[in-house]
């Protein structure tokens, strides 16, 4: 296994300095909260597309998709296909995102207050903050483990790698917010694109497509090619993925913030349509790398570490540095986007309503930045103490469903069903969270995920039928009878 050369280190360090420096340099353009969270709603189509893709791809993405490829073979491709179809449908129709963008909100719970009540907003904010923090909480350990293997660093130094990674993120996230994210996304997108294409060529050349296909056939048989019969996936899993893909495209805060930041609704729709094919590639490429690791090493490897060992083995010096630089750039974007998303909810939808008074623009900005720092400390600790049971992808989906299933159902009902009521929203969030939480009671992640969506629908329907609200419309100013 090769170790990093001086050339590799130079490439990585220069990319980090360039990214962090560019993000920190734009801090002077952040003077108020709307600059920090939604970049004063000035994001264009091409910038938004690059920003959206970069934020939703990081080292963690490569690790969990490669892990699925290693375990499920070509059957795992169905996940990427579903995500691409969901993004395209949302972009073409404006499903949910058109309405939310027209309201000029900055967070998803902000709409929930406009449509329901402040109490529902705070409940949604608490669940989002809790689920989002648990979701983000496994990123540092998995990514640092990947980096340590590739860089040749001993695992006993894992906390140091994690701390360095998170410190770099804080430099420009806490300083420049969404403005920093948009600027650095350009750098990250270029590095990521080059590294991904080149590494894919090298992987295919080194392992061979026929050997990859044969490995799936030998180790998995027909289940490695058919997701409906796959031991790892199956029909119930596919149904869950359809639900969670549409939910994430419309109500996942870090994705929704791109829609909120777009210049207008038409730009936001085009952004999602363009991104759809990239979402397919985002899943298929690392899954293919994971299958290549199966062909190269056999089935005895630790699923989560297989990709790191493969790349460290087959990539030459220089290219190894480029690959790590591209992945690091992508991870910085992911961390920044997620920290910004969850901190904005904690500060704007939980803390601020509890204060029962209006903060100044500087006060709101300071509160959000403090929240970013506190959230970073939490995910560092959680990543060190928690061991992920089973595939990381399943854990990430279930923790998202602690809030996302009910958020999706409540917002869809709020936008398209006039009878949707406050009681329905309360019950939807409570029931949906209970459904997802069964995962921590040793229920399978697929069952927990489906329960979350099913319970959320039942709660919304039952509460709205028992106690409907008056007929309402929602505008930028709030709810009107």
* pLDDT score of 479: 46
Q: What is the mean pLDDT of residues 179-204?
A: 72
Decide if pLDDT at 429 tops 90.
yes
Exposed (0-12), middle (13-18) or buried (19+): which is 480, by Cβ within 10 Å? exposed
More confident residue, 291 or 9: 291
Q: Best-predicted range by mean pLDDT among 55-59, 164-168, 182-186, 202-206?
A: 202-206
Decide if pLDDT at 53 tops 70.
no
Contact indicator for 327, 139 with CB cutoff of 8 Å: no
* pLDDT score of 437: 92
More confident residue, 17 or 97: 97
Answer left, alpha or beta for residue 177, where phi above 0 means left and psi between -120 and 50 means alpha: left
Q: Work out the percent of the chain whose per-residue pLDDT is above 70.
A: 80
Contact indicator for 418, 435 with CB cutoff of 8 Å: no
Contact indicator for 203, 292 with CB cutoff of 8 Å: yes
Decide if pLDDT at 452 tops 90.
yes
Domain ranges of the chain: 6-392
pTM (predicted TM-score): 0.83
Tell me: the pLDDT tens digits for 230-284?
A: 888 999 999 999 999 999 888 877 677 666 666 667 776 777 777 888 888 889 9
Instruction: Label residue 101 by pLDDT band (50, 70, 90).
Output: confident
Residue the block writes with tokens 């690091």: 328
Decide if pLDDT at 291 tops 60.
yes
Mean pLDDT value across the chain: 81
Decide if pLDDT at 369 tops 80.
no
* pLDDT score of 188: 64
Other beta carbons within 10 angstroms of residue 142's beta carbon come to 20
Q: What angle do CA 142, 342, 419 make, to 5 degrees?
A: 125
Window from 37-41, 55-59, 310-314, 327-331 with minimum mean pLDDT: 37-41
Q: What is the mean pLDDT of residues 113-138?
A: 88
Q: Best-predicted range by mean pLDDT among 21-35, 103-117, 206-220, 368-382?
A: 206-220
* pLDDT score of 184: 57
Give the separation between CA 176 and CA 454, rounded to whole angstroms. Answer: 39
More confident residue, 5 or 439: 439
Q: Work out the percent of the chain whose per-residue pLDDT is above 90.
A: 32
Bridge partners (DSSP) of residue 475 are 478
Tell me: the pLDDT tens digits for 165-184?
A: 888 777 656 554 445 555 55
* pLDDT score of 175: 52
237 vs 90, 240, 257, 368, CA distance in Å?
Answer: 21, 5, 28, 36
* pLDDT score of 51: 57
Give the separation between CA 256 and CA 341, rounded to whole angstroms. Answer: 9
CATH 1.20.1730.10 fits 6-392, yes or no: yes
* pLDDT score of 187: 63
Instruction: Label residue 440 by pLDDT band (50, 70, 90).
Output: confident
* pLDDT score of 317: 85
* pLDDT score of 6: 82
* pLDDT score of 189: 65
Which helix (H) or strand (E) segment is 475 a member of?
strand 473-475
* pLDDT score of 393: 92
* pLDDT score of 32: 45
Q: What is the mean pLDDT of residues 109-123?
A: 88
Give the strand pairing for 478-480 and 473-475.
antiparallel
* pLDDT score of 81: 95
Residue the block writes with tokens 């991104």: 275
């Amino acid at each position: 296994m090769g170790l990093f050369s001086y050339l590799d280190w130079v490439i990585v360090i220069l990319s980090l300095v360039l990214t962090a420096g560019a993000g920190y340099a734009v801090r002077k353009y952040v003077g108020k909260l709307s600059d920090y969270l939604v970049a004063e709603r000035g994001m264009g189509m091409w910038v938004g597309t690059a920003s959206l893709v970069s934020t939703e791809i990081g080292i963690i993405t490569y690790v969990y998709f490669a892990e699925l490829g290693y375990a499920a073979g070509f059957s795992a491709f169905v996940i990427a296909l579903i995500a691409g179809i969901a993004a395209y449908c949302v972009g073409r129709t404006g499903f949910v995102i058109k309405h939310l963008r027209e309201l000029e909100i900055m967070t998803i719970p902000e709409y929930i207050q406009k449509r329901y009540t402040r109490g529902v907003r705070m409940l949604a904010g608490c669940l989002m903050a809790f689920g989002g923090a648990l979701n983000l909480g496994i990123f540092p350990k998995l990514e640092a483990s990947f980096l340590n293997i590739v860089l040749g660093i001993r695992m006993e130094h894992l906390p140091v790698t994690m701390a360095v990674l998170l410190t770099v993120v804080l430099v420009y996230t806490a300083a420049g917010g969404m403005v920093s994210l948009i600027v650095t996304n350009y750098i990250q997108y270029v590095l990521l694109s080059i590294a991904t294409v080149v590494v894919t060529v090298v992987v295919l050349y080194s392992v061979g497509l026929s050997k990859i296909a044969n490995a799936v056939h030998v180790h998995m048989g027909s289940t490695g090619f058919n997701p409906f019969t796959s031991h790892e996936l199956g029909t119930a899993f596919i149904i869950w993925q359809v639900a969670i893909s549409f939910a994430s495209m419309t109500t996942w805060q870090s994705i929704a913030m791109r829609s909120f930041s777009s210049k207008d609704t038409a730009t936001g729709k085009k952004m999602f349509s363009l991104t759809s094919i990239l979402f397919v590639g985002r899943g298929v490429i690392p899954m293919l790398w994971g299958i290549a690791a199966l062909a190269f090493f056999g089935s005895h490897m630790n699923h989560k570490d297989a990709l790191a060992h493969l790349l460290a083995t087959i990539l030459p010096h220089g290219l190894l540095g480029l690959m790590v630089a591209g992945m690091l750039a992508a991870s910085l974007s992911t961390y920044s986007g997620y920290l910004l998303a969850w901190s904005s909810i904690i500060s704007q939808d939980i803390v601020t309503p509890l204060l029962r008074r209006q903060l100044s623009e500087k006060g709101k900005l300071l509160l959000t930045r403090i929240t970013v720092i506190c959230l970073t400390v939490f995910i560092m600790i959680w990543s060190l103490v928690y061991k992920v049971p089973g595939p990381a992808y399943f854990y990430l989906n279930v923790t998202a469903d602690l809030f996302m299933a009910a958020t999706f159902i409540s917002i869809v009902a709020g936008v398209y069903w006039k009878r949707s009521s406050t009681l329905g929203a309360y019950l939807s969030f409570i029931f949906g969270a209970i459904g997802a939480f069964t995962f921590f009671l040793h229920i399978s992640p697929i069952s927990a995920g489906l329960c979350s969506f099913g319970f959320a629908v039942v709660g919304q329907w039952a509460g709205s039928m028992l106690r409907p609200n008056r007929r309402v419309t929602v505008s930028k100013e709030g709810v009107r009878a």
